[in-house]
Structure 1
């Protein structure tokens, strides 16, 4: 059957192409992709090409479908999996396969398997690893965002703490501790914040830093500190660009003791050094933001490493359990992944958006793969409708504005019913 996809041919070479999908084998599953959210990791893949660890050397001859944060409908199931999966099921998946020691992953490594496409083929290893998940929710975008949410969930779960003289790591962030989310007013930081506020083991204080006041103001609008206080959490949004000495002032905000857990969401040396400087005793620093520079380094206080048991670690992606937790918390309305989304667009916008991702302000860019639509900010929907005299955009704007400016199931349902030409 025919599919249309954004495919990687080499560094900075993404092409929207129509091609023929082969017939599935007994061990494969054919799916229709509905939504894919664009990840900064996809941008890194696109600009690096074969220099990226997940991209195969012959990608020019066998181009890889981009995108790994996707959801959709199962179309056809090979006979070896018909006991578990049926045509018509909604699905999402965990893309961090780590299959037999390889780094192959959808969105980087497969010719017929990725998210920025109308249809794709899920290979046998995904089912073998239990990474194909039935999705029983209403909105496809929530399933797409389960993957980026799982990355932050994994970061929380991978944190650890110790006791003096005891050689056992106590896994997870410290209960009732103090948490700092550095450079955290972007999409992934807000995903971490919604999780921190509503998970079972929670801190007593959360400080979110950034240097962009508009992003901080949006974050405070979405997560009012008074609401967090009512739930027993002291929440602060702090612009470190306005601080003469960010480390000293952040430590003072913590009560002078520093922070038990610090998540660093920017691959910037100064932010890493600040993150190190605000750690309290036995503080755990998770360097979450993956750099493109293989020689990236930053100063860390090793006096504190030795005498105060501070430690640093890094996580990339989550696991299947993290994704399931994200889906369950979303279904229970305890977390809202939509806080990450600021733009929507069609498949025709995916290549340009990916290659220019760091230059486009805002949060997550959500692509609907059966749609032709330029990338548009949710805040611009009304202006777009008025400029084009298009009532559909105005209706979308009404829905979004009634939902604190956030994308929502009702908006997606309207979009899929009124914008797609079958």
Structure 2
């Protein structure tokens, strides 16, 4: 069968094209990809081409499909997996395969397996690893965003704490403790706030910082201190742009004791140093943001690391358990990944979106592969609706949901905009 896909041919060489998929083997699965959210990692792969560790050297002759934050529906199951999967089931994929030590992953390395395509062939290693994950929720977009959400979940699970005189690491945030989310009013920070308020293990205090008041205002409108209080969490939003002594101000919010868990969501030296300075005894800082500068460094207080003892670590990505947790919480309505989404587009807009991603403001950009649609900010659908009633109806659905994307908006888009 034929499919359309956005494929990498080399450095900054990205093409939307139609081609033939081969017949699936007995150990493969054919699937329809409904949605794929665009990740900055894809942009990095495109600008590096074959120099990227996950992009094959022969990509010019064997182009690879982009996109790894995807969700879809199973179409046909090879004989080997027919006792586990069946056509019609919704799914997401944990893309960090690390199969037998290989760096290859969907969205970077495979000719017929990735997210920015109408149809894909899921290779046997995905099922062998248990990384083809069933999804019971309504919206495909939630399953797409389970991948970035799983990175957030993994970050919360990866922090650790100790016991005096015992060589024991207790994994996860301190329940009933104090959490600081620094530089966290962007899409991943919003997911971190959501998880802090609605996961099983909750802190007592969450402080969110940023230097952009508009982003802080949006975060505060999505996750209000009043809602947080109902969850048993004291929530603060702090603009640190004009503060003379950020660590002192942040510590004053927790009576000068410091924080049990600190997460840094922007790759900025000053934020990392602030995070170190506000750690309390046995506090742990997760430098979550992935820098592009290989030489990025910061100063940490070694006295505190030795005597307090504070912990400095980092995490990248989540595992399959983190992704299952994200899918479960989203399907149950406890997490709302829609808060990350600010733009929606069709497959015809994917290549341009990827190549210009750092220049496009806002949060997550969500692509629907059966649709041709210019990448559009959610707030701009109303303006498009002045010329086309379909856009007006979609804008009304979004407005009725506090300006957020939803399963209802997704269904309307697929029913009325698909090619």
Question: Mean Cα displacement is larger for which, 295-304 or 284-293?
Answer: 295-304
Aligned counterparts of 2:413 and 2:72: Cα–Cα separation in 1: 15
Match of 2:29 in 1: 29
Question: Mean Cα displacement is larger for which, 217-226 or 130-139?
Answer: 130-139
Question: Mean Cα displacement is larger for which, 186-195 or 273-282?
Answer: 273-282
Match of 1:39 in 2: 39
Q: Deviations over 1:166-215 (max 9, x none)?
A: 11000100111111111111111101110110111100000111111111
C-alpha deviation, 1:254, in angstroms:
2.3
Match of 2:413 in 1: 415
Match of 2:223 in 1: 223
Q: Deviations over 1:43-81 (max 9, x none)?
A: 222222233222222222221111101011111111111
Match of 1:398 in 2: 396
Aligned counterparts of 2:48 and 2:204: Cα–Cα separation in 1: 41
Aligned counterparts of 2:329 and 2:264: Cα–Cα separation in 1: 24
Match of 2:112 in 1: 112
Match of 2:305 in 1: 305
Question: Mean Cα displacement is larger for which, 14-23 or 185-194?
Answer: 14-23
> What SS does the aligned partner of 2:162 have?
strand
Aligned counterparts of 2:133 and 2:231: Cα–Cα separation in 1: 32
Question: Stretches of 4+ moved more than 6 A in 1?
Answer: none
Task: Report 1:236-315 matches (<5 A).
Answer: 236-315=236-315
Aligned counterparts of 2:275 and 2:357: Cα–Cα separation in 1: 25
> What SS does the aligned partner of 1:241 have?
coil
Q: Which runs of 5+ in 1 are unaligned?
A: none
Match of 2:346 in 1: 346
Match of 1:178 in 2: 178
Task: Report 1:330-369 matches (<5 A).
Answer: 330-369=330-369
Q: Deviations over 1:341-391 (max 9, x none)?
A: 1110001111111121121111100000111101101011101111xx111
Aligned counterparts of 1:13 and 1:270: Cα–Cα separation in 2: 35
Match of 1:5 in 2: 5
Task: Report 1:365-380 matches (<5 A).
Answer: 365-380=365-380
Q: Deviations over 1:203-261 (max 9, x none)?
A: 00001111111110000000111221232211011111121121221122222111111
Match of 1:126 in 2: 126
Aligned counterparts of 2:90 and 2:313: Cα–Cα separation in 1: 35
Contact 2:152 2:318 in 1 (8 A): yes
Aligned counterparts of 2:306 and 2:52: Cα–Cα separation in 1: 35
Task: Report 1:316-331 matches (<5 A).
Answer: 316-331=316-331
Q: Deviations over 1:139-189 (max 9, x none)?
A: 111111111111100111111100221110001001111111111111111
Aligned counterparts of 1:302 and 1:150: Cα–Cα separation in 2: 31
Q: Deviations over 1:8-34 (max 9, x none)?
A: 122222111212211111111111100
C-alpha deviation, 1:103, in angstroms:
1.8
C-alpha deviation, 1:277, in angstroms:
1.5
Contact 2:137 2:332 in 1 (8 A): no
C-alpha deviation, 1:296, in angstroms:
2.2
Aligned counterparts of 1:306 and 1:105: Cα–Cα separation in 2: 39
C-alpha deviation, 1:399, in angstroms:
0.8
Are positions 1:62 and 2:62 aligned together? yes
Task: Report 1:159-178 matches (<5 A).
Answer: 159-178=159-178
Aligned counterparts of 2:356 and 2:81: Cα–Cα separation in 1: 39
Check 1:392–1:198 CA distance in 2 against 1; reply closer, same or farther (3 A cut).
same
Aligned counterparts of 1:287 and 1:51: Cα–Cα separation in 2: 26
Using structure 1 for the length normalisation, give the TM-score: 0.97
Aligned counterparts of 2:146 and 2:45: Cα–Cα separation in 1: 20
> What SS does the aligned partner of 2:249 have?
helix
Aligned residues: 419
> What SS does the aligned partner of 1:147 have?
helix
Task: Report 1:142-221 matches (<5 A).
Answer: 142-221=142-221
Aligned counterparts of 1:287 and 1:274: Cα–Cα separation in 2: 11
Aligned counterparts of 2:414 and 2:119: Cα–Cα separation in 1: 16
Aligned counterparts of 2:168 and 2:290: Cα–Cα separation in 1: 28
> What SS does the aligned partner of 2:241 have?
helix
> What SS does the aligned partner of 1:208 have?
strand
Aligned counterparts of 1:306 and 1:50: Cα–Cα separation in 2: 43
